[in-house]
Amino acid sequence: LGDSLTAGYGLAEEDAYPAVTARLLAERGTPIHLVNAGVSGDTTAGGLSRLDWVLRQKPVVLVVELGANDGLRGQPLAGIEANLREIVRRGQAAGALVLLAGMKIPPNYGREYADGFAAIFPRVAKDLRADLIPFLLEGVAAEAQLNQADGIHPTAEGAQIVARTVAPYVQTLLRRARAGRAA
Q: Residues 133-181: pLDDT tens digits?
A: 999 999 999 999 999 999 999 999 999 999 999 999 999 999 999 888 6
- CA dist 175 and 16 (Å) reads 24
Decide if 33 is catalytic: no
Q: Which amino acid is at 137?
A: L
Residue 183: pLDDT over 60: no
Quickly state the pLDDT bin for 107 (edges 50, 70, 90): confident
- CA dist 178 and 33 (Å) reads 15
Collect all residues with Cβ–Cβ distance below 8 Å to 162 and sequence separation of at least 6: 5, 17, 20, 136, 137, 140, 154
Q: Which of 3, 4, 15, 70 is catalytic?
A: 4
The DSSP call for residue 153 is: S
- CA dist 97 and 149 (Å) reads 35
Decide if 40 is catalytic: no
Its pTM stands at 0.95
**If you write DSSP's letter for every residue of 5-38 in order, what string do you get?**
HHHTTTS-GGGSHHHHHHHHHHHTT--------B
- CA dist 167 and 165 (Å) reads 6
- Give the burial class of 173: count Cβ atoms within 10 A of its Cβ; 0-12 exposed, 13-18 middle, 19 or more buried: buried
For 9-60, the pLDDT digits (tens) are: 999 999 999 999 999 999 999 999 999 999 999 999 999 999 999 999 999 9
Q: What is the pLDDT of residue 182?
A: 57
Angle at 171 between CA 91 and CA 156, to 5 degrees: 95
Closest by Cα among 56, 41, 43 to 90:
56
> Facing residues of 61 across strands?
97
Decide if 153 is catalytic: yes
> Facing residues of 101 across strands?
133
Q: What is the pLDDT of residue 2?
A: 98
Q: What is the pLDDT of residue 50?
A: 97
Q: Which of 3, 15, 70, 153 is catalytic?
A: 153
Q: What is the pLDDT of residue 133?
A: 98
